[in-house]
Amino acid sequence: MFSKIKNLLLWLLRKPLAVLRFVSKIPGYAILGLDILFAKIFAGFGRIFDFIDNVALRPCHNTKPYRWFKGLGSASRMSVFVALFTIFWIFSGSIGGDGGSRFGSAPETNVARTVQVKASVARAHLPIVEISGVTEANHKLEMRAQTSGTVRNILKTKGSDLAENEVFLTLDNAIRAAELKQAQASYNQLRLENQAAVSLARGGYESRVKATEIQANFARAEAALERARYNLEKSRYSAPFAGTLVDSPLDIGDYVSPGTFVGTVVDLSQVKITGYVSEKEVDRLQGLGPLEVEIADKTYQGELVFISNSANLRTRSFAVEVIVLNENQEIRDGVPAILRLPQKIQAAHFISSGWLTLDSDGTVGVRLVDSDSIVEFATIDVVQTDGSGVWVAGLANQVNIIIAGQETVTSGEEVEAVFMDDEIIADEIIAPAISDEVNNTEQDLEQEENIEPSI
Q: Please report, for residues 42, 82, 83, 107, 426, the alpha-carbon distance to residue 96 in angstroms, rounded to integers and kept in the order given.
A: 30, 21, 20, 15, 53
User: How many domains are contained in the chain?
Assistant: 4
Q: 366 with 405: CB under 8 angstroms?
A: no
C-alpha to C-alpha distance for 76 and 209, rounded to whole angstroms: 153
Q: How many CB atoms lie within 10 A of CB 180?
A: 20
The whole-number pLDDT of residue 55 equals 65
Q: What is the CATH number of the domain that holds 379?
A: 2.40.420.20
Which of 316, 345, 374 is at the close of a domain?
Answer: 345
Same domain, 280 and 340: yes
**Domain assignment present for 279:** yes
Q: How many CB atoms lie within 10 A of CB 411?
A: 13
Local structure of 122: helix, strand or coil: coil
Same domain, 359 and 398: yes
Same domain, 255 and 273: no
C-alpha to C-alpha distance for 21 and 258, rounded to whole angstroms: 107
**Domain assignment present for 108:** no
The whole-number pLDDT of residue 323 equals 93
The whole-number pLDDT of residue 199 equals 74
Q: 96 with 102: CB under 8 angstroms?
A: yes
Local structure of 385: helix, strand or coil: strand
The phi, psi pair for 254, rounded to 5°, reads -70, 140
C-alpha to C-alpha distance for 369 and 374, rounded to whole angstroms: 5
Same domain, 51 and 154: no
Q: What is the CATH number of the domain that holds 326?
A: 2.40.30.170
The set of long-range contacts for 65-74, using a CB threshold of 8 Å and a minimum separation of 24, is: 69/1, 70/1, 74/4, 74/5, 74/8
The whole-number pLDDT of residue 172 equals 79
The whole-number pLDDT of residue 52 equals 65
Exposed e or buried b per residue across 419-436, where buried means at least 16 C-beta atoms within 10 angstroms of its C-beta: eeeeeeeeeeeeeeeeee
Report pTM.
Answer: 0.51
Local structure of 67: helix, strand or coil: helix
Residues contacting 273, CB < 8 A, separation 6+: 133, 134, 135, 136, 293, 302, 321, 322, 324, 337, 339
N residues, the chain: 455
**Domain assignment present for 29:** yes
C-alpha to C-alpha distance for 284 and 391, rounded to whole angstroms: 15
Q: What is the pLDDT along the chain (455 residues), one digit of tens a residue?
A: 556 666 666 655 555 555 555 555 555 556 666 667 766 765 665 566 566 666 666 677 677 776 776 666 655 655 666 677 677 777 765 444 444 444 444 444 567 888 889 999 888 888 888 889 999 998 888 889 888 888 888 888 888 888 888 888 888 776 777 777 788 888 888 888 777 777 776 766 666 677 777 778 878 888 888 887 777 777 788 888 888 888 888 888 889 888 899 999 998 889 999 999 988 888 788 778 888 899 988 999 999 989 888 888 888 899 999 999 988 888 888 899 999 888 888 888 998 888 998 888 888 999 999 988 899 999 988 888 877 888 888 888 899 999 888 888 888 888 888 888 654 443 433 333 334 443 444 455 455 444 443 33
Segments forming the whole domain that contains residue 360: 347-428
Same domain, 331 and 274: yes
Local structure of 273: helix, strand or coil: strand
Same domain, 171 and 195: yes
**Domain assignment present for 130:** no
Same domain, 208 and 282: no
**Domain assignment present for 97:** no
Beta bridge partners of 385: 390
Same domain, 252 and 288: no
The whole-number pLDDT of residue 286 equals 75
Q: 242 with 288: CB under 8 angstroms?
A: no
Same domain, 257 and 154: yes
**Domain assignment present for 289:** yes
The whole-number pLDDT of residue 430 equals 33
**Domain assignment present for 249:** yes
Same domain, 212 and 178: yes
C-alpha to C-alpha distance for 33 and 41, rounded to whole angstroms: 12
